[in-house]
Structure 1
Amino acid sequence: MDRLQAEQRVEQLNKQLREYGHAYYVLDRQAVPDAVYDQLLHELIDLETQYPDLVFPDSPTQRVGGEPLSGFSKVTHAYPMLSLSNVFGEEDLREFDRRVRSGASGEVEYVCELKIDGLAVSLLYEDGKFIRGATRGDGRVGEDISANLRTIRSVPLKLNETATIEVRGEAFMPKGSFHQLNEERESRGEELFANPRNAAAGSLRQLDPRIAASRNLSVFAYGAGGDGSNLPVAGHEETLRYMESLGFKVNLEREVCRSVEEVLAYIEKWTEQRNELAYEIDGIVIKVNSYEQQEELGFTSKSPRWATAYKFPAEEVVTKLLNIELSVGRTGAVTPTAILEPVRVAGTTVQRASLHNEDLIREKDVRIGDQVIIRKAGDIIPEVVAALTEQREGTEEPFVMPTECPACGSELVRIEGEVVLRCVNPKCPAQITEGLIHFVSRNAMNIEGLGEKVVEQLYREGLVKDVSDLYKLTQEDLLTLERMGEKSASNLIAAIDTSRSNSMERLLFGLGIRHVGEKAARLLSEEFGTIDRLMTASLDELTAVHEIGEKMADAVVTYFDNEDVQALVERLRDRNVNLAYTGKRVRLAEGETVFAGKTVVLTGKMTQLSRSEAKERIEALGGKISGSVSKKTDLVIAGEEAGSKLDKARDLGIDVWDEQRFLEELHD
């Protein structure tokens, strides 16, 4: 191949690889198999090695990061990167809406977008080519991090047209990449990043671009520098679509709203669903759509009057640690719990938080009386992150873990390889009560009406000593309990009776065997068919089951070798509790069912199955449930009122079924 032919081939390869990269990193769609992409990339590398003068700045080979920099130079933004004002509740938002409508002519519509929790960046292009990238800095002067931004695959190095434009975006680290990074750092004994935002910021401020290249960062474009007058658009939503056409990654989960009620509905939706996203968000950005109205409204000295950020309730707050209490779980694990001065965090009032174990208390040097940082995200149990040691007054007391079980007085032991202390007394009342609560829970035997308080009363009154005793209760027994009326007692007896016919996997999970979760209980039930067969299974037979490891197998053998457990099973049998698997028997080898090996997303309302039932059925057939739609999704099952996930699935060309089609496949 002569030089002219090489030049033509390099140009062709650059074009192809840019298109494939755009599909993968921006549109979340794989245009060609990895092997094809890799083959073309290697061909380009070979040609560039042979002809170094054909290495262009926008070549896909230039994403790996060059030599370390000596420092970052300063960049003055042509248009200031102003911060937004914040609102923290409905009344604040309504007040913002009133100010906008009083200051703007005509009907107002807003564009609502997810507020990505990352690092704001500016991307400058001239004649369609990436020239420079910078941090926000103080809003007027930032740092030139072009070398690091070049490594991010969702940042186009060449636009789809020869536009001169400054694009504003948010650089972030996806949750999956964050967890992987921290696992790698932990294995090397390095300090962990506190959250994805810190990890992204730390990656982009590395002087060695190769570090940024290894961190799998991404960027969502959210606007353009200036007032938009130099763009072929009349408003913000059009700008986002225009940037998408240029090749930028733009968040699809946005919505145009024509009233404050629609804005509030959007906020409510994403407050509930934000934990399903593949990236962190810390609020919602609300912008007036029309550029003409934006100009009318103008700016304050610090922020635009036509935009605001609704901030989710704080997920990290400071409060006082009043005491540390111990609780004993169903497996005997003794867990310290922080008792706190009540404080609002993530929208709820918190008075208790997890301290995990004695080692963590010692490592973080948490003392009774300390001011501590509490973190809560979504439905996650609040935890103590750190003690503010610099605020100590000298009256704080170190916590000393007791040597005896707080519930039964037995000696606590630490099993080799574990960090928790355990009570190993099988008659410990706390363990028995917690085991009963687990047994009746929704994901186990699902006995409606048997809440914690009722279970504790039943045990305290001597009516129930183990799970088999639940099946000999009478209505008269229940009527002796506090606040238990005839109707409630009758309903509870009916619920207990209904649970007798549950399939074996619910019973197996309810028994609380160590290391055996819902999925393992289902796999074991499906494989062995009955409790009797499982009780006689050898270690080799158990480890031969798909996804059952040695640790879990050993726990099952040890559990059923116990004479008390064998006697318990006989009592359950005598009380007509089903001990067999009655679900659909499906082997999980890939290809044997329509769901085997598939990643499935459920969205919208199901009318004939609950969300948890649908999830359970799909997983039983070898499928994997995901909370968000991406290029890795194989199938979306859409119920009534399906929203953005359905739209995204259609955009990505993913197979979509309605509930009826789903049910037909289940019954085949």
Structure 2
Amino acid sequence: MAAEQTDKIAVEDLSQAQARAELARLADLLARANAAYHRDDAPVMDDAGFDALKRRNAEIEARFPDLKRTDSPSEQIGAAPAEGFGKITHAVRMLSLGNVFTDEDLDDFVRGVRKFLSLEDDAPLAFTAEPKIDGLSLSLRYQNGQLIQAATRGDGAVGENVTSNARMIADIPQSLTGAPDVLEVRGEVYMSHADFAALNTAQEARGGKSFANPRNAAAGSLRQLDAEITRARPLKFFAYAWGELSAPLAKTQKGAIDRLAALGFATNPLTKLCNSADDLRAHYAHIAALRPDLGYDIDGVVYKVDDLALQARLGFRSTTPRWGIAHKFPAELAWTRLAGIDIQVGRTGALSPVARLDPVTVGGVVVSNATLHNEDYIAGLDAKGGRIRDGKDIRIGDLVQVYRAGDVIPKIADLDLSKRPETAVPYVFPTICPECGSEAIREEGDAVRRCTGGIICPAQAVEKLKHFVSRKAFDIDGLGAKQVEQFYEDGWVKTPADIFELEARYGSGMQQLKNREGWGDKSAKKLFEAIEDKRKIPLERMLFSLGIRHLGEQASNLIARRYGSWEVLEAAMVEAAGCDGAQWEALLNIDGVGEVMARSLVTAFAQPEERASIDALAAHLTILDAEQPKTEGSPVAGKTVVFTGTLEKMSRAEAKAQAERLGAKVSGSVSAKTDLLIAGPGAGSKAKKAADLGIETLDEDGWLDLIAGQ
């Protein structure tokens, strides 16, 4: 796991290189955290800690917008569904909420809503405020008043089919009277403290496994393949939202919640209507004071714009609504002994120091390791040579303070020098890769030391293969991280292309594979069938699977949609190899693709060894063209649109979001590729350049007339 930059360096002090490395670290760690929490029901951090890192990620992205990774935590929701359950595609995506942590953050949220809607400070604007339940998100679909299916959040688009289990929860009505013909009710499955304690007592009495906390118990109970086990567990459900509707529930958030209550759903009695940021703060303090006595776990307070028409105008970012936010409670700390320091090598060659700890419980989770970020952090220095922790270095044997701030491997916040053993010596960071023996160098401006071994380094090769078979890449059933390590060690798979040659080389009678520990005729046959099934792969997943540095899932989607096919993409990357010319400019003009990401992508197609590996893989595949947005009838679908000047009837952000929903490509600069310029008062050089290039220009009213009815 790459640890690119210490989080002790203030965001405003980060260099561009440090910011890039820090964003890469956060993206990697938080993606794994999402999978542990949402998919595996085995969280390794509390929500407050998770959100602390997510917030840092957002702050860095705000300061360095060109470095924003499209696999960053701000673009991710939940995790892919687990195996063992059928999958349900949500009719309306289940999006997560953004977070605030301080009074200043809350004020920024309210101001941001007003600015987006062009509301004056004294214009009325109501919000609802309710406890944020720490449980498992669930979507219930009713048709003609009957419960027909229930699904977990999953990755926001596809969840697990837990219909039989949901029918076992007393709080969930099986039928409704007076409901819309189609009604998706969303809420949280949870377990009370008393029921949790009783369940663990019963588990221990029968020699079963006890649960770490009520959230784990609730998630594990709902996600049982045997619904009778769910029936025996004391699960509860609070309704607080909805998905697809055939008719509106009400005109306001509060009215809709009251309607759900009238239909027979349990809703939280602490939900309150608030008319200002001060009202929201007061209710947050009230709920926080009640928290110890509620009898169930909450991890914050959720605020939502009450007027549903305003919610519709505000719309969504890529993964979060603009009209809602979660105000989270603080994280926790604990002290323990540092037993050792290990060095891990990531797929980009970064040497990442990991602290091995005497196990300690932090916020209900047992922690036995923590990130040490890089050699500067261990030495008590920031990247500029300044002192952190008052210059205290970290040594094996130290008593350290563990802060579960969201890392899959949590972090060490401080240490107690008074408890330092006399035998403790300064840690010497290795300059040789522990995996392959190659020199590990630290380039100027880089926060980490990297192995120079490249493809000869087994750690890098294995990590790239693990990424290749991960759920958001090729997602080959039966071929996970453990199997990749096994096959690599035995020399069966060294490159992605080798995976698609496994059956031809070793599967003639499947004898070699089925005789291995853990394999048999059936499992070997299923693996080869799963591999065969992935010979057809969408362009965006193919691109993401290559593990190109800085290229995440969302960027892969953007790039795939822009080029459409593998052949067009490949030709464009070859033409852009010198990082200049028309194709290079076209790549940079994709909204969300910065120069660093573009250079990394082009370089991957230009380096002989990496290109040979890509070509060998592509030869085994049918790479499907990217699916384009369905924008039938849109007058701006496929057009490149630029906004400039001041818009008076909507905010710039609202206009851009509207254009993208209609299939337009929104760019920040005018070029010969621009199809349409929307110019408000104060338009300057962009308007002049558009006129010089003969590009069609509309004012705000012209734009609204153009898209009327869409």
Give me the TM-score of the superposition, normalised by structure 2.
Answer: 0.44
Radius of gyration: which is bigger? 1
Give me the TM-score of the superposition, normalised by structure 1.
Answer: 0.46
